Amino acid sequence: MNKVAKLEIEGKVYELPIVEGSEGEKAVDISHLRQQSGYITLDDGYGNTGSCKSAITFIDGEKGILRYRGIPIEELAEKASFVETAYLIIYGKLPDHAELQRFSDLLTQNEMLHEDLKFHFEGFPPNAHPMAILSAMINASSCFHQRLLGPLDDETFELQAARLLSKVRTIAAFAYRKSRGLPTIYPKPVYKYTANFLHMMFSQPFQDYELKPEIVRALDLIFLLHADHEQNCSTATVRMIASSKANLFASAAGGVCAIWGPLHGGANMEVIQMLEDIHREGDDGSRFITAAKDKASGKKLMGFGHRVYRHYDPRAKIIKKQCDDLLAVLKRADPLLDIAKKLEDAALHDSYFIERKLYPNVDFYSGIIMRAIGIPIEMFTVMFAIGRMPGWIANYKEIMDGQGARIYRPRQIYTGPTLQHYRTISERR
């Protein structure tokens, strides 16, 4: 028998279906509540709203669990590459040899940008933020692949997905080179995904960048750890845009804009700026912790807290270890890592953070690795966006495949003026 929840409003009882997910998550389906009762539900910030059913990523925020298509993030981080993980997220299964080869070949075949698209970079001022360029250029890409904007059969989707996933790193590297007044470096088909990106970022026309395997692996891992995270702000944005049946490039461009914000992907930049400030001011972190607890200070401990995790973010654990390993291999010390560890230790023993269940999130240590790799701070959020692309693509596909899917269109409780009438300008005071 189907389970129902009962809701009583003004003496009338409404039966609402209960929906259960494959991991036992439970929801009350209120989709017909307004029709039945005239009431909607109100959930500012959607903290308690399931906007969809999805088979891509599972998170248990209380226990600190993250799985892509059922596979724990820890196993993927140890054994898989970003490209293999991207395949898993997009197609729902780990690829066999032939599938992985075909996917990798498609990425290689689509790594170049249309030469005319390249000219669009010239229109941006030298200090343009790379996230603005990334979003604009992903959107502009749809002008160059118009054949792919029609009905979404499997072949078209495969090509769209490969184009976007491959070209995003070329666009990102070109955006960086443009922002620094450097000549663009074309991709090399012999390199794998992440190595090719580093080559486009750091090679010079007269000298190839030396690809250290540890650095390639560290960045590949960062991409992998960011590859999906269920209905976060940017993914929900991508789904929202896709629900209007906009194309994949337009939907992903919107995702880039959403992830840019400092409370979302932009936090990785903010963490480093915070650590640099603390370092410059000679604080051991304790003054900052005091300020972060005081709402009037306007400060937050960036890289801490998460809407879903009320436990240590499992990605932060992996990144912290990777951070230690990479700095050891490169024989580098970073004073910001010491400050970060002190802040973490202080916060994890402080009642303010304990009571609110605030733990390090994925952004807390990722910036320190990126600094060690040589990625400039303004490109940190771009790295996040490249990594998140498989998740956006997979979520886009779920929307497009949705049986009878409706356009996303939340309601609101109106709090503005009641009926007013137009007054001519001389009647207004």
Residues classed as catalytic: 306, 363
Minimum distance of ligand ACO from residue 346's CB (angstroms):
12
Nearer to ligand ACO, 200 or 259 (CB): 259
Minimum distance of ligand ACO from residue 310's CB (angstroms):
10
Both tokens assigned to 143: 């002008």
Where is 59: in which H helix or E strand?
strand 57-60
Beta pairing class for 26-28 and 57-60: unpaired
User: Is residue 241 a contact partner of residue 254, using CB atoms and an 8 Å limit?
Assistant: yes
Nearer to ligand ACO, 55 or 263 (CB): 263
Determine whether 218 is exposed, middle or buried from the number of CB atoms within 10 Å of its CB (0-12, 13-18, 19+): buried
Nearer to ligand ACO, 158 or 230 (CB): 230
Nearer to ligand ACO, 187 or 303 (CB): 303
- Structure-token match 């973490």, residue found: 344
Minimum distance of ligand ACO from residue 71's CB (angstroms):
20
User: Is residue 298 a contact partner of residue 344, using CB atoms and an 8 Å limit?
Assistant: no
Minimum distance of ligand ACO from residue 138's CB (angstroms):
20
Minimum distance of ligand ACO from residue 297's CB (angstroms):
10
Q: What are the residues binding ligand ACO (CB under 6 A)?
A: 263-265, 267, 292, 300-307, 356, 358, 361-363
Q: Which residues contact 393 (CB under 8 A, 6 or more apart)?
A: 89, 90, 161, 164, 165, 248, 252
Q: How far is it, in rounded angstroms, from Cα 286 to Cα 306?
A: 22
Q: How far is it, in rounded angstroms, from Cα 199 to Cα 38?
A: 58
Nearer to ligand ACO, 272 or 326 (CB): 272
Residue nearest to ligand ACO (CB): 305
User: Is residue 185 a contact partner of residue 173, using CB atoms and an 8 Å limit?
Assistant: yes
Q: How far is it, in rounded angstroms, from Cα 68 to Cα 391?
A: 10
Q: How far is it, in rounded angstroms, from Cα 128 to Cα 178?
A: 9
